Amino acid sequence: MPEVVLRQMLERVEPGTPPDGPRGPVARLERRLAEMLGTQAALFFPTGTMAQQVALRVHAARRGREAFAAHPQTHLDVWERRGYAIVHGLRFHPAGDRHELMTAADLALIGEPLAAVVWELPQRDIGGLLPEWHDLVAQVAEVRAGGAAAHLDGARVFEAQAYYRRPLEEIAGLFDSVYVSLYKSLQGVRGAVLAGDVPMLREAATWRTRLGGNVHDAWPLALAALTGLDTLVPRMPEFRDHAVALAAAINADGAALAWPDPPQAPMFHVHLPAPRAAVERAGAAMIAEHGTQLFPRLRTSPDPTRCAFEVSVGENAMEFSPAEVVSLIRELLDRAAR
């Protein structure tokens, strides 16, 4: 609800708060996230797209290397029109299978010194899967021993923390740089923060300016994110428990498949035994008739008789009981079959 968020944002503005500068909301947010992540500093960016491309570029320049590796479904490759290559002159090695987590063996197959490796935690496009902690620690150590930087795409790092149950600084501490989204788990307006050491962030700030990302009026974005840090981050374990309950009910019913089973983060995918076009029509009819939206976007499957959608459990999803979600999925499938 915008009015609730706006009221909560106002509570975070003390009289005389300047819009910019070291006492302004952006600097407060940067300090707060650096403290939570245990990094030397943090730097606001207008988007995660810009923050991550800049992080990789800085790691590459420092190492005199131009290749990086990441999961085949990384946001950097799928959604950013190859900005890493066209804007920054970097090369991408997809590591591993697109439907599975990246492994140490996948990384070992890359026969080239890398500037950086990117881990997305949780890996959104495969239902929010996360590597086991000991495996992650071993992968990162191996990569860093080879001279590459370890970068965390932590767009949803607070969701990942709900699975690892470790202090955020222990998770972030594995990496040379960490990006956190201000509008995903934190349900802010927009924006991102890049965290790491001071020399790296100084170079990143120069690139942010060159790319037109040094916006001076970002205080509403920072206030919205500060609100999310206070109100939503403490609820992540509750969101995760609800995701587990929803997935269990869906799988017990059996009409659809919730995966992973059980969910690790407060997110999972629902795989449906119906083609995408039919489910799209059914979903649109449900919105028109009773205003319930089950998914914003459907995912195709190599099997043309199936498709899937993502469930991300935050405040809104808490309003739906497992039984309600099962009955909505049944309604969706009934309508898709007509």
Ligand X SMILES: Cc1ncc(COP(=O)(O)O)c(C=O)c1O
Binding footprint of ligand X on the chain (CB under 6 A): 47-49, 75, 120, 124, 153, 155, 181, 192
Residue of closest CB approach to ligand X: 48
Contacts 24+ apart (CB under 8 A), 95-98: 95/69, 95/70, 95/71, 96/71, 96/72, 97/72, 98/71, 98/72, 98/73, 98/125, 98/126
Minimum distance from residue 128 beta carbon to ligand X (Å): 10
Question: SS3 of 27, please?
Answer: helix
Cβ closest to ligand X, residue 117 vs residue 192: 192
Cβ closest to ligand X, residue 253 vs residue 310: 310
Half-sphere exposure of 123 (CA within 13 A, CB side): 23
Residue 204's H or E segment, with its range, is helix 198-210
Cβ closest to ligand X, residue 54 vs residue 115: 54
Minimum distance from residue 77 beta carbon to ligand X (Å): 11
Minimum distance from residue 226 beta carbon to ligand X (Å): 17
Minimum distance from residue 227 beta carbon to ligand X (Å): 18
Minimum distance from residue 38 beta carbon to ligand X (Å): 21
Residue 193 in contact with residue 43, Cβ under 8 Å? yes
Question: SS3 of 45, please?
Answer: strand
Cβ closest to ligand X, residue 157 vs residue 294: 157
Strands 91-94 and 149-154: unpaired
Q: Where are the beta strands (DSSP E) in 125-173?
A: 149-154
Minimum distance from residue 199 beta carbon to ligand X (Å): 24
Beta bridge partners of 123: 129
Mind giving me the DSSP string for 208-252?
HHHTT---S--HHHHHHHHHHHHHTGGGHHHHHHHHHHHHHHHHH
Cβ closest to ligand X, residue 60 vs residue 157: 157
Which stretches of 87-154 are DSSP H helices?
Answer: 104-108, 133-145
Minimum distance from residue 122 beta carbon to ligand X (Å): 9
Minimum distance from residue 51 beta carbon to ligand X (Å): 8
Cβ closest to ligand X, residue 47 vs residue 301: 47
Half-sphere exposure of 172 (CA within 13 A, CB side): 26
Cβ closest to ligand X, residue 139 vs residue 181: 181
Cβ closest to ligand X, residue 192 vs residue 236: 192
**Residues with Cβ within 8 Å of residue 169, at least 6 apart in sequence:** 36, 37, 38
